[in-house]
């Protein structure tokens, strides 16, 4: 029997928690992150704010320019973590194997609920989950259903917010054809640009391509071709292991000179972004580590709601952390940069539903 995988993605999680806890914010453009005057970045935005072009990792000043009526709120990380535990506890009631991807996102293997995988039965169970979350937590979730993780994720991204989409083995190839190539797991900006250079803009273009994809995407070619046809045999990762990527530099002489620190951070961001690209991953948490001349070591981190993968976004957040926490008040012996909360790159489906 085919697997039945649900992908549950809470809608604009951080901002939705704020709107729920403060009814005066309902329906208004909420931007969670640094206040504009603090020269920080956005970590989440409500759908009302996203309509103005506000996104995660954007400088807060830019967000204010795009959305002057936006309501800026400093993140309540502990509150979001508590809410995440509550939502995951609700999902656990269904007896499924659960792979929690982040505070607001999880895969559930629901195969045991069905003798045969039908859209009607799977959608009925998904509606039950959505209703439970809305009733118990007063939050909405988008749920995607498919015979594997790839299709479940694509389905949950397809009709946000409060969406419910089911992709079956019978309709998966046709469903995928009109979607942009970037909808495929592992196709970030670098890979998308490489495909675009060969006029491969949609999944249909990849499905119909007769050439050798290795010339464009290297060793990812075989997996990309499988994904383009909706094939994915990845199991759920339920070990809960925290994965991270990091880089650091020890200076020849202790320094607080921006002319040395800034290039070091930029190089580390580029190195980390390249590793994320190779692994077809994105990150939600950025961490900066500094070590002073007396070997005192401090770390500070910042978490965004939507995963990021570009060197520019990683570097922007790292600079915001340094400014906010004033870690460079004294000369540094070492500076390091790391990312964690690794998962799928954010998918932006731009075609009409």
> Which residue range is the domain that position 99 belongs to?
1-170
If one counts the domains in the chain, the total is: 3
Determine contact, residues 28/132, Cβ cutoff 8 Å. Answer: no
- Write out the catalytic residue numbers: 105
Determine contact, residues 61/36, Cβ cutoff 8 Å. Answer: yes
Q: Last residue of some domain: 184, 213, 240? A: 240
Say if residue 210 is in the same domain as residue 130.
Answer: no
pLDDT tens sequence for the chain (353 residues):
679 999 999 999 999 999 999 999 999 999 999 888 877 889 999 999 999 999 988 999 999 999 999 999 999 989 999 999 999 999 999 988 899 988 899 999 999 888 888 999 999 999 999 999 999 999 999 999 999 999 999 999 999 999 999 999 999 999 999 999 999 988 888 888 999 999 999 999 999 999 999 999 888 899 999 999 999 999 898 765 547 898 988 888 888 888 889 999 999 999 999 888 877 788 999 999 998 888 788 889 999 988 899 999 999 999 989 888 778 878 898 999 999 888 877 654 433 33
Question: Is residue 306 classed as helix, strand or coil in its secondary structure?
Answer: strand
Q: Last residue of some domain: 146, 170, 194? A: 170
Say if residue 152 is in the same domain as residue 3.
Answer: yes
Say if residue 12 is in the same domain as residue 115.
Answer: yes
Say if residue 220 is in the same domain as residue 287.
Answer: no
Closest to 43 in 3D by CA, of 7, 76, 4, 9? 76
Say if residue 217 is in the same domain as residue 77.
Answer: no
Q: Where are the alpha helices (DSSP H) in 147-202?
A: 149-158, 172-176, 189-196
DSSP structure string for 243-256: -EEEEEEEEEEEE-
* pTM of the entire predicted model: 0.78
Within a domain: 99: yes
Q: Last residue of some domain: 170, 185, 207? A: 170
Phi first, then psi: give them for residue 229, nearest 5 degrees: -100, 15
User: Would you state the pLDDT for residue 92?
Assistant: 93
Say if residue 157 is in the same domain as residue 14.
Answer: yes
């Amino acid at each position: 029997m085919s697997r039945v995988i649900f992908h549950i993605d809470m809608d604009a999680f951080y901002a939705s928690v704020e709107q729920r806890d403060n009814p005066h914010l309902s329906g208004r453009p909420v931007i969670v992150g640094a206040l504009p005057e603090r020269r920080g970045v956005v970590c989440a935005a409500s759908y009302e704010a996203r309509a103005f072009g506000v996104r995660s990792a954007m400088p807060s000043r830019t967000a204010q320019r795009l959305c002057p009526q936006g309501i800026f709120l400093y993140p309540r990380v502990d509150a979001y973590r508590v809410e995440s535990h509550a939502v995951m506890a609700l999902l656990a009631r269904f007896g499924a194997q659960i792979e929690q991807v982040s505070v607001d996102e999880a895969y559930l293997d629901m195969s045991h609920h069905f003798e045969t995988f039908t859209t009607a039965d799977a959608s009925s169970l998904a509606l039950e989950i959505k209703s439970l979350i809305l009733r118990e937590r007063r939050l909405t979730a988008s749920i995607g259903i498919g015979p594997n993780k790839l299709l479940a994720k694509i389905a949950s991204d397809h009709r946000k917010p409060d969406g419910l989409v089911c992709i079956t083995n019978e309709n998966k190839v046709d469903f995928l054809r009109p979607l942009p190539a970037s909808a495929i797991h592992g196709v970030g900006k670098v890979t998308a640009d490489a495909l675009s250079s060969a006029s491969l803009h949609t999944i249909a273009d990849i499905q119909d391509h007769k050439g050798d994809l290795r010339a464009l995407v290297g060793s990812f070619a075989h997996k990309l071709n499988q994904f383009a046809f909706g094939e994915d045999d990845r199991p759920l990762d339920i070990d809960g292991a925290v994965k991270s990527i990091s880089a650091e530099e020890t200076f020849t002489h202790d320094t607080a000179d921006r002319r040395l620190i800034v290039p070091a951070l930029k190089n580390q961001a580029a190195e980390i972004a390249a590793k994320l690209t190779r692994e077809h991953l994105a990150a939600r948490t950025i961490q900066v580590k500094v070590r002073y001349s007396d070997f005192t070591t401090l770390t500070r981190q910042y978490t965004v709601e939507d995963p990021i993968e570009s060197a520019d976004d990683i570097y922007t957040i790292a600079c915001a952390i340094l400014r906010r926490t004033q870690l460079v008040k004294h000369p540094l012996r070492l500076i390091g940069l790391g990312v964690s909360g690794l998962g799928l790159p954010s998918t932006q489906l731009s075609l009409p539903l």
